[in-house]
């Protein structure tokens, strides 16, 4: 059986931290930033976890 390939799009978007949890960047932080408040933009900079319903699918895409 051949090696399993990593989904390259997923590899660029998701990271696994030391204790095995997956993290991702928040959406809505790329453009039209003038109408968004400073507080909202600051919160968009932080990474967040992946929802439990998507965890299995993302792990399969990353080959974890």
- Indicate the pTM of the whole model: 0.78
Q: What is the pLDDT at residue 1?
A: 85
What are 14-26's pLDDT values in tens digits? Answer: 999 999 899 999 9
What are 24-51's pLDDT values in tens digits? Answer: 999 999 999 999 999 999 999 999 999 9
Q: What is the pLDDT at residue 14?
A: 96
Domain ranges of the chain: 8-62
CATH architecture designation of domain 8-62:
Irregular (4.10)
User: Cβ-count burial of 48 within 10 angstroms (0-12 exposed, 13-18 middle, 19+ buried)?
Assistant: exposed
Q: What is the C-alpha separation between 24 and 58, in angstroms, rounded?
A: 11
- 64: pLDDT strictly greater than 90: no
- For residue 51, give the nearest of 26, 33, 18 by alpha carbon: 26
Q: What is the C-alpha separation between 64 and 59, in angstroms, rounded?
A: 5
């Amino acid at each position: 059986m051949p090696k399993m390939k990593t989904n390259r799009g997923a590899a660029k978007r998701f990271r696994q931290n030391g204790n095995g949890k997956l993290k991702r960047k928040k959406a809505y932080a790329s453009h039209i930033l003038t109408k968004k408040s400073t507080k909202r933009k600051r919160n968009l900079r932080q990474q967040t976890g992946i929802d439990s319903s998507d965890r299995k699918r993302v792990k399969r895409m990353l080959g974890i």
